[in-house]
Amino acid sequence: MNWQSVNFDWNHARAFYVTVKEGSLSAAAKALGVTQPTLSRQMAALEAELGITLFERAAGQQLVLTDSGAKLVEHVEKMTESALQFSLAASGQSQLVEGSVVISVGQLDAAFRMPKIIAELRREEPLISIEVIVTNETSDLLRREADIAIRNFHPTQNDLIAKKLGEEIIHLYGSSDYVQQLPDSLDKVDFSELQIIGFDHSTMITDLLNAQGWKLGKDNLQLLTGFQLLQLGLCKEGLGLIFFPEDMADKEPQLFRAFPQTEPVMTVPVWLVSHQELRTSPRVRRVFDFVAERVARGLQ
């Protein structure tokens, strides 16, 4: 192989790929943690190294790929994937129980489960630094968005390993005043007066409950938010019922279970997930096992 023919800087190629994906120099600079002038210099250096123009500026300073630039995107994407795999493999070789571990958790896990768990972990492993990504979306562990994730579904990718920690039991809860005005059984409910605080405009909630004998429509969900801590706050103000895990509700004295004689509205599996390469890293394995034991204990 003619090694001298590889005459460009990988950091410059990475800057090009991130700029393509982010759509602008400002967004790419933010994603890479550099200034926009620094990123511009890296792009100019790559163009000089390759002897081609990668972008043209359209109206409004928008960046548009040239034909030459477009032909390189597929190749630099493969390079990025290889770099990620290289990083994963290298991380897995580290035998030190120190360094950084990134955990991805949902909003309710972040608020109700993780503070105590992280506090205990920090006391036992002060050399491990923890970063927590709070999102109800699925973090891509294969792309190193996180090292470990708590999820409510079993992953299908072969490169991921998962441990089931238990089941979340979900009921509907409301404030004391709101629950007290409800009848004892569903067959006595005036559904036209019932309010449930929903997540979005989908019919998932109404479909789920109607399959269990409820009679709900869109008028029963007049408050919507995907931010579950706001749902909790609105519920405490007596504005409607919310879906909430039983073990977390037990810690909220202002929450009362609606229709306690009924079965849970759903049960949801709880999985802890990590990349198999990272699972060989002592620090990640230590955090994985620690979180798994503490979360599983809370679900019992």
Q: Write the CATH number for 105.
A: 3.40.190.10
Query: pLDDT per residue over 140-169, tens digit each?
Result: 777 778 899 999 888 887 788 899 999 999
Taking only the tens place, the pLDDT of each residue in 242-287 is 999 999 999 999 999 998 888 899 999 999 999 877 667 888 889 9
The reply to whether 72 and 216 lie within a common domain is no
**Is the domain of 60 the same as that of 179?**
no
Structure confidence at residue 58 (pLDDT): 64
Co-location of 77 and 119 in the same domain: no
Distance (Å, whole) CA 128 – CA 98:
5
Question: What is the tens place of the pLDDT at every residue in 210-221?
Answer: 998 888 998 999
Rounded to the nearest 10°, the torsion over CA 103, 105, 111, 113 is -80
49 shares a domain with 26: yes
Among the ranges given (76-90, 176-190, 201-215, 266-280), the one the predictor scored with the smallest mean pLDDT = 76-90
Q: Output the average pLDDT for the chain.
A: 85
pLDDT digits (tens, 9 = 90+) for 34-43: 888 888 888 8
- Does the pLDDT value for residue 236 go beyond 60? yes
CATH number for the domain spanning 62: value is 1.10.10.10
Top pLDDT among 6 and 172 is at: 172
Judge whether 94 lies within some domain.
Answer: no
Model pLDDT, residue 221: 94
CA distances from 104 to 14, 33, 98, 248, 292 (A): 25, 20, 19, 19, 13
Regarding whether 217 and 132 lie in a shared domain, the answer is no
Are 50 and 198 in the same domain? Answer: no
261 and 291 housed in the same domain: no
Q: Which two tokens stand for residue 12?
A: 């410059």
Domain containing 40 equals 3-89
pTM greater than 0.75: no
Name the residue with higher pLDDT: 181 or 19. 181
Residue 125 in domain: yes
pLDDT of residue 9: 72
More confident residue, 295 or 18: 295
Domain endpoint, select from 52, 70, 89 = 89
Alpha-carbon gap, residue 248 to 109, rounded angstroms:
9
pLDDT at residue 270, rounded to an integer: 95
* In a domain? residue 57: yes
* Total domain count, the chain: 3
Q: Is the pLDDT of residue 1 over 60?
A: no
